[in-house]
Amino acid sequence: MTSLDLDPSEILERYNVKMEKAMTPDDAAAELYPKDELIRPIAESIYEGEEDDTVEALQKAIDAGKDPIALIDDALMVGMGVVTKLYDEGIIFLPNVMMSADAMLDGIDFCKSQAKEAPVSKGKIVCHVAEGDVHDIGKSIVTALLRANAFDVVDLGRDVPVDEVIETVKKEKPIMVTGTALMTTTMYAFKAVNDRLLEAGLKVPFQCGGGAVNQDFVSTYELGVYGEEAADAPKMAEAILAGADLGKLKEQFHQH
Amino acid sequence: MTVNRYTKMAYASADDMIFGNSPNPVKAGLDLEIGGGYTTPEINYAPRPEAGETKEKLIKEYERITRDSMERMVQVGFPSVVLETEHVQQMTNNPTWGGEVANAQKAIMEDYHDEYGIKCALRHTPGDIREDRDYLQLRGEKYNTLMESFEEVASNGADLLSIETMGGKEVFDRAILRNDVPGMLFAIGCLGTMDMEYIWQDITKIAKKNNVVSAGDTDCAQANTAMFIAGGLLDKNLAHTLAIIARAISAPRTLAAYEAGAVGPGKDCAYENTIVKSIAGVPIAQEGKTSTCAHSDVMGNLVMQCCDLWSNESIEYHGEFGGTTVQCWGESLAYDCALMNSALQTGQSKNLRDMMVLSDKYRDPQGYILAYDNAYKIGEAIVKDSDDIYLRAKNAAVECVNLLENADPKLQMTRFEKNALADASEALAGLTDDSDKFMSDSLEQYKEEVKVFRPENYGL
Ligand code: B12
C-alpha cells in the first residue's frame, strides 16, 4: 500500500453495527420457550436446528404419554414460532431458519410415523418457478418455510409450463399458489397463469415474488398478491386460513 | 491438453498489482491489447424481451445495440471498447443464432474500426444450458450443443470466449442456506473446479482452432449467489462473513480455467478476480459502481483497483434521457477508464488505486478481503497447495477467516457476523487434510442430502 490512510467513520457508516440489538439470539429465544418440561426441549431443539435432538425429545414426550399428533402443534410449531419471531425481529438470520425448518420437517415426519391416524393438513399450497426460469433458490426457501409451518406443499420445481400449474391446481385444489420469477422475461408467465386460472373458474390467491417481480407488476392481474420476502409466504397462508379474501390479502401485504 | 497448476504468484508483491496492467496481457480483436498499459470499458447489454421472439428481431436488436455503443464511443473520443454479448437462452440453444448475432455485431465493429481506428473486441458468453428441468446435466447432450455454440460464435466474429459455468451449484444451493462451510468447499472448491477443468480444456481447443481468445469464467452461480443473498448491510439472510468465505473459495475454482488453457480477460462479475490475477497474472474484467444498473454491491470503487476491463454487468436496451442505455452506461464506464488511464500516464496510478480501495475497504468484510493486499494473501494460501484442489480451496477459506479474525479494528463487524465467522472457523478446524477422505465423505453425505446431486456430472 502507499502511505494513504483514513478514518473510515468520516466516509461511511456501518448502520448494521450501529443498529444491532443488544440481546443475543440465545437470550431472546430463552425468553420465548414454553415452560412445560417435556415440551421445552422440543422447542429448543427446533431453535437449535438439531434434528436428532428433536426426535429424541419427541420420543421422550410420547413415552410420557403425549399424543404425537398434538405435539406437532403444541411443541414443534411453538418452537418454529420462536424462530419466526426472532427472524422477523432481525435477531436471527435465514440459515438458522432453514436449519430449524429441516429439524421441524424431521419432527413432523417422526410424529406422523408414531401416530395411528394421519394429522389434518392445515392446507395445501402449490409452489412453482415461472416457465423459462431456473432461478429456484427463493422458491426453495418459500417451500421450506411453508412446510415448516405445517402446510402441505406441492412443489412443481422450476421452469414450470403454465399448463402444468393449471392442471395441478385443478387436481390438488390448493388454498393458494406461489410463483417465483427472477427475470423480466419470465415473469409474464404469471399473467398467463392468472388468466387461465380465471378461465377455469379457479379463484385461488396467487402469491408472486422473486427478484424481477414487483408490486406494480403483480397488481396488474386479479389473483396476484405480491410477496417481498419468503417469510411472507406462511403469513399469507395463515391469513387465508383466518378468512382473508383477495382484497384483504392485498391490503395486508401490498406496501403502497 | 493438460492442466497446468499455478505453483507461484504472478507478482513479487501485492503492491505491484495495478489496473490496466497485467503480467500476461492479451491481444484480441481489432488492435486491442488488454492489460497492456491501459484500461478499456466493456459494455454489457440485454435485448428487450420482445426482441427474443424471432431470430430476425434478435439480430436487429443486437445491431442497434452495437451501432449505438460504437457511435457513442467515437462521439466522445474514447480510444478502445469491448462489447460483451451474454447470450439469451435461445441463442445458445440454437447455435447458429449466436453465430449470426456475432457476425452481425462484428461487421459493425469492423466498420467503426476501419473508419476511425477505434480499438475494439467482441466477447460472446453462451449461457450454461447444461441442465434439464430437474437436474444439472453437465456432460450430456446439452454439452454438445454448448460446444457447437462456442464453435459458431468463434467462427463468426467473437474475439473472446467466456461462460459462467455452474458446476457444484446443486450442492451449493443447499449448503449456503445452512451456513454449511464444508458443503461450500465441496461444491465450489471440488465439484466446481472439476467441471471447470473439463469444460475449459474444450473451450480452449475451440478458441485455438478459430484463432480467438479463450477468455475466462466467473463463479456467478455460487459466490455471487452468496453475495446477493447476503445483500446490503441491513439484510438478514446471510452473514457477509460467510459470503466472503464463499468468495475466497471461488478463487481457486475460477483459476482452474486458466490452468486449463484460458488466458483472460476474466469475466466481469467474478469479484474473485483480484485473487485470480495475483496468481495467474491474467487481465481481468470487473464491475462495481458502474454496474448498479444490474445489482447493488458494497465495494463499488474498490473492485476497480486492478481491473483491465471495466464493465456495467448488464442493462436492458432501451431509451434514456441521455441516449440508449448502452450509450449512457458505456460513456460512464469509458470516463472511469479515462481517469484510470490518466493516472497511469501521470504516475499517479497507485494513489488512485489506493483511494478507490480505501473508500470501501472498511465498508464490509467482503471489500476488506478483496482489497488487493488481502486478496494477495489469499492467493499465496492457494498456491501453497496448488496440486490439491480440496486443500487449496480450504487454505483460501482458512486464510480468509484468519484475516477477518485479525482484522484492522477499522473494520467493524456485527456480533452476528463475528458469530458466523467463529462457527465457520470451528467447522474449518474440524476438517481433515486428507482430500480423498474429504471427497468420499462429502460424496456420501450430499448424495443423501441433495436429491438432485448426480456424481456422474463430475465423472465421479
Ligand atoms: C444465482 C443466479 C443465477 C443462478 C441460479 C441458481 C439457482 N439455483 O437459482 C444461475 C447461474 C443458474 C443463473 C442463470 C441465469 N441467470 Co441469473 N442470477 C443469479 C443471481 C446472481 C442471484 C439470484 C438469487 O438466487 N438471489 C437470491 C434469492 C434468494 O432471491 P429471490 O429468488 O429473489 O427470493 C427472495 C425474494 O424474492 C422472495 N421470494 C421469491 N419468490 C417468492 C414467492 C413468494 C410467494 C414470496 C412471498 C416471496 C418470494 O424470497 C427470497 C428471500 O426472501 C441474479 C442477480 C440478481 N441481481 O438477482 C442473477 C439474474 C437473476 N440472472 C440473470 C440472467 C440473465 C441469467 C441467465 C439468463 C444467464 C445466462 N446468460 O445464462 C441464466 C438464466 C437461465 C434461465 N433460463 O433461467 C439476470 C436476469 C435479468 C433479467 N432478464 O431480468 C440477473 C438479474 C443478473 C443480471 N443482473 O443480469 N443465475
Q: Residue holding cell 473492485?
A: B303
**3-class DSSP state for residue A156?**
coil
Could you tell me if B450 lies within 8 Å of chain A, comparing CB atoms?
Answer: no
CA-nearest residue of chain A to B239? A93
Residue B2: exposure state from Cβ atoms within 10 A (0-12, 13-18, ≥19): exposed
Q: How many CB atoms lie within 10 A of CB B243?
A: 26
CA distance B181 to B100: 43
Q: Answer whether B122's CB lies under 8 Å from B146's CB.
A: no
Q: Is the pTM of this model over 0.80?
A: yes
C-beta A136 within 6 A of ligand 1: yes
Q: Do B223 and B248 form a contact (C-beta atoms < 8 A)?
A: no
Q: Does residue B448 belong to the interface with chain A, where contact is any CB pair within 8 Å?
A: no
Helix (H, G, I), strand (E, B) or coil at A227: coil
d(CA A47, CA A137): 22
Closest in B176, B350, B415 to A2, CB measured: B350
Check: CATH 1.10.1240.10 for A23-113? yes
Whether ligand 1 lies within 6 angstroms of the CB of A61 is answered as no
| Phi, psi angles (nearest 5°) of residue B284 | -135, 150
Looking at residue B88, the DSSP 8-state letter turns out to be P
| C-beta atoms of A134 and B131 within 8 A | yes
Domain ranges of chain A: 23-113, 124-253
Considering only the beta carbons, identify the residue of B357, B361, B414 that sits closest to A20. B414
Pairwise CA distance, residues B40 & B330, whole Å: 11
Q: Is the CB of A137 under 6 A from ligand 1?
A: yes
**Contacts of residue A17 in chain B, CB cutoff 8 Å?**
412-414
Which pLDDT score, from 0 to 100, does residue A185 have?
86
The answer to whether the bond into B126 is cis (omega within 30° of 0) is no
Cell (9 digits) for B92: 445458445
Rounded Cα distance between B277 and A253, Å, is 46
Residues 6+ apart with CB under 8 A from A60: A38, A41
B413 touches chain A (CB under 8 A): yes
The distance between the two most distant Cα atoms of chain B, rounded to a whole number of Å, is: 63
Say if domain A124-253 classifies as CATH 3.40.50.280: yes
Does residue B221 line the site of ligand 1, with CB under 6 A?
A: yes
Nearest CA-CA distance, residue B111 and chain A, Å: 32
Say which residues have a Cβ less than 8 Å from residue B188's Cβ, sequence separation at least 6: B168, B172, B219, B222, B223, B246, B249, B250, B253, B393
Size of interface A-B (CB pairs under 8 A): 87
Phi-psi region of B25 (alpha: psi -120 to 50; beta: other; left: phi over 0): beta
Closest B-chain CA to A132: B89
CA-based nearest residue to A125, from A220, A1, A241 = A241
Cα dihedral B431, B437, B440, B443, rounded to 10, equals: 10
Vertex B318 angle, CA B316 and B321, to 5°? 125
Chain B residue with CA closest to A141: the answer is B177
> DSSP 3-state assignment of A243?
coil
Residues B413, A17: C-beta atoms closer than 8 Å? yes
CB spacing of A137 vs B239 below 8 angstroms: no
d(CA B118, CA B70): 9
B30 contacts B213 by C-beta, under 8 angstroms: no
Tell me how many degrees the CA angle B244-B283-B363 measures, rounded to the nearest 5.
30
Cβ contacts of A118-121, under 8 Å, gap ≥ 24: A119/A69, A119/A72, A121/A150, A121/A151, A121/A152
> A142 is written with which cell numbers?
418459500
Q: What distance in Å separates the CA atoms of residue B289 and residue B293, rounded to the nearest whole number?
A: 9
Ligand 1: atom nearest CA of B170 is 8
For residue A170, the model assigns a pLDDT of 96
**Of chain A residues 154-183, which have a CB less than 8 A from chain B?**
157-159
Task: Say if the Cβ atoms of A137 and B350 lie within 8 Å.
Answer: no
CB-facing half-sphere around the CA of B40: CA atoms within 13 A? 29
Residues 6+ apart with CB under 8 A from A173: A124
Q: What is the ipTM of this complex?
A: 0.85
Chain B residue with minimum CA distance to A136:
B173
What are the domain boundaries of chain B? 14-458
* All cell numbers assigned to A203: 379463484
What letter does residue B284 receive in the DSSP assignment? B
Averaged pLDDT in 10-residue chunks for chain A of 256 residues: 82 88 81 90 94 95 92 92 89 90 92 83 94 91 90 94 96 96 92 96 95 93 94 94 93 88
pLDDT for B1 equals 58
**Model pLDDT, residue B173:** 94
- B27 at interface of A, judged by CB pairs closer than 8 A: no
pLDDT digits (tens, 9 = 90+) for B356-409: 999 999 999 999 999 999 999 999 999 999 999 999 999 999 999 999 999 999
Residues 123-142 of B with CB under 8 A from A: 131, 133-134
One-letter amino acid of A236: M
For ligand 1, atom 7, which residue shows the shortest CA distance? A135
The pLDDT value recorded for residue B135 is 87
Give the separation between CA B243 and CA B102, rounded to whole angstroms: 35
Q: Do B354 and A140 touch (CB under 8 A)?
A: no
Tens digit of each residue's pLDDT (9 = 90 or more) over B293-306 = 999 999 999 999 99
Region for residue B274 given its phi and psi (left: phi exceeds 0; alpha: psi -120 to 50; beta: otherwise): alpha
C-alpha cell, B221: 452461480
Using a CB-CB cut-off of 8 Å, the residues of chain B touching A8 are: 358, 361-363, 410
Find chain A residues with C-beta within 8 A of B176's C-beta: 95
- Ligand 1 center from residue B4 Cα (angstroms): 34
Note the pLDDT of residue A18. 86
Tell me what percent of the residues of chain B surpass a pLDDT of 90.
95
- A89 to chain B: which residues are within 8 Å by CB? none
Residue A13's DSSP bridge partners are: none
Residue at grid coordinates 400449474: A165
Average pLDDT over all residues of chain B: 96
CA B429/CA A213 separation, integer angstroms: 41
Give the per-residue pLDDT at B44. Answer: 98
Across the interface, do B177 and A2 touch by the CB < 8 Å criterion? no
For the segment B167-209, what is each residue's pLDDT rounded down to a tens digit?
A: 999 999 999 999 999 999 999 999 999 999 999 999 999 999 9
- Distance separating alpha carbons of residues B387 and A143, to the nearest angstrom: 41
Give the per-residue pLDDT at A24.
81
DSSP states of B176-229 as a string? HTTT-HHHHIIIIIIIIHHHHHHHHHHHHHHHHHHT-EEEE---IIIIIHHHHH
Whether the CB-CB separation of B165 and B195 falls below 8 Å is answered with yes
Contacts with B137 (C-beta within 8 Å, 6 or more apart), sequence order: B130, B131, B143, B457
The pLDDT value given to residue A40 = 94
Residues of chain B with pLDDT below 50 are none
* Crossing angle for the helix pair B415-429 and B240-259, to the nearest 10 degrees: 50
Q: Residue B105 has what DSSP assignment?
A: H
